[in-house]
């Protein structure tokens, strides 16, 4: 491993020096045996001896100090292991996060594909049903066209867009969102985030809306954000997962 090669280099160099010295001694012994005999064998041995001496000097004066310098201020094996474990943990967390984003993207693409297949007739029926429940039947939906043009009336009066109160607009928006989610997720499993959608409704319609959202949340995941703590009693504090922000 990298760690092993890094930390054993000095010992390996020392061993290399000893081996070189051993070979040098063998060469010295052979030269002593040959004596002052001149010739190819003697000259060759002397050249090899000189080369060994230079190699030993290089290892001793250059390679060995360099290897020792590398070991200065190096981390311990335990530190490297700890860092490796931490990196491994971060990697696993990144994989989980990547999978979550991939799942969200896949779900988004599925929803986008299904949205183009919406049956306006079914959507209209669901929207009418939600409007009836939210308004207690005080607003009738006459038509919802394929281009999403809406015609409604209250009693005998037509409800034009320009005369709708903020509370009525909120009611229509809530009913339409719930109907749309039902159409895209007919078996449930949808996801919806509501950011204070009831602030302009009268108390009676607010109570109906809360009860309807509680029923809707039995099949779908609902996150409801509000600055009005009085709504908690309508939802039923024991029946919801409440998170309070300071």
Residue 10 has pLDDT above 70, yes or no: no
Contact 180, 123 (CB under 8 A): yes
At 31 the pLDDT is 65
Q: What is the pTM of this model?
A: 0.54
Average pLDDT over residues 202-206: 91
Pick from 180, 168, 183, 181: nearest CA to 134: 168
Give the integer Cα–Cα distance in Å for 246 and 233. 19
The torsion region of residue 188 among left (phi > 0), alpha (psi -120 to 50) and beta comes to: left
Is residue 50 classed exposed, middle or buried when 0-12, 13-18 and 19+ CB atoms within 10 A define those classes?
Answer: exposed
Provide the 10 A C-beta neighbour count for residue 16.
15
Query: Which of 36-45, 133-142, 196-205 is predicted least confidently?
Result: 36-45
């Amino acid at each position: 491993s990298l760690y092993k090669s890094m930390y054993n280099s000095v010992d390996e160099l020392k061993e290399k020096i000893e081996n070189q010295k051993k070979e040098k001694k063998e060469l010295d012994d052979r030269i002593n045996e040959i004596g002052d005999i001149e010739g190819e064998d003697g000259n060759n041995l002397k050249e090899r001896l000189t080369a060994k001496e230079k190699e030993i000097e290089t290892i001793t004066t250059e390679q060995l100090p360099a290897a020792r310098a590398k070991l200065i201020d190096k981390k311990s094996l335990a530190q490297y292991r700890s860092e490796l474990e931490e990196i491994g943990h971060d990697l696993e967390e990144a994989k989980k996060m990547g999978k979550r984003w991939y799942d969200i993207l896949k779900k988004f693409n599925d929803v986008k594909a299904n949205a183009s297949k919406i049956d306006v007739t079914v959507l209209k029926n669901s929207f009418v049903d939600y409007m009836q429940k939210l308004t207690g039947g005080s607003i009738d939906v006459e038509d919802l066209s394929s281009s999403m043009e809406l015609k409604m009336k209250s009693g005998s009066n037509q409800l034009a867009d320009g005369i709708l109160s903020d509370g009525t607009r909120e009611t229509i928006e809530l009913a339409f969102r719930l109907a749309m989610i039902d159409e895209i997720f007919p078996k449930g499993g949808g996801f919806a985030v509501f950011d204070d959608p009831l602030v302009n409704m009268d108390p009676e319609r607010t109570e109906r809306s809360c009860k309807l959202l509680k029923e809707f949340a039995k099949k779908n995941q609902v996150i409801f954000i509000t600055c009005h703590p009085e709504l908690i009693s309508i939802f039923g504090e024991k029946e919801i997962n409440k998170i309070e922000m300071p």
